[in-house]
Amino acid sequence: MNRMKDTGIAAARGTGRTRLLLGLAGTGLVATLAAMVATTLAAALARAVGADFEIPDGGEAIPLAGFAVVTGFFSVVGTGIAVALLRWSARPAERFVWTAGSLTAISLVPPFVSGANAATVAALVGLHLVPATVMIQTLTRSLRARAG
């Protein structure tokens, strides 16, 4: 009889943990959509005020949809990192801030070495910070609430 109780408790704990992980993933998905919209709108605004988003190597301008796709991809990756840290880290929020902050810093290098004009470089740097701000703030807050 005790064995059944123990199994039931373990199953309930597993379900609770799964619910936490799925909840974080859902929060990450909503934040991803918000980051995609915010970044695309910011890119449209930057284009309207003079950033041409032309990268000299290929000679083509980055399309607005490209900003949404890349933002979505890396935001999903960030959400995956947050979920993994919630699952396997004793301090997921702190580890996430360090990891995401480091990856964001690294992502700021390519605009400077792209050879694009100053307006495009400035816009690209800003466009890296828009989704980073949305995702890092949202996921960190969610990790703290779920880990505590």
86-130 pLDDT, tens per residue? 999 999 999 999 999 999 999 999 999 999 999 999 999 999 999
| Higher pLDDT among residues 13 and 140, named by residue | 140
Nearest 10 degrees: Cα torsion 28, 134, 77, 91 = -80
pLDDT of res. 14: 60
pLDDT band at 4 (very low <50, low <70, confident <90, very high): very low
Rounded Cα distance, 113 and 108, in Å: 10
Residue ranges per domain, the chain? 21-147
Give the model confidence (pLDDT) of 40-69 as tens digits.
999 999 999 999 999 887 678 999 999 999
Rg (CA), the chain: 19
* Residue of 46, 21, 42, 32 lying closest to 132 (CA atoms): 32
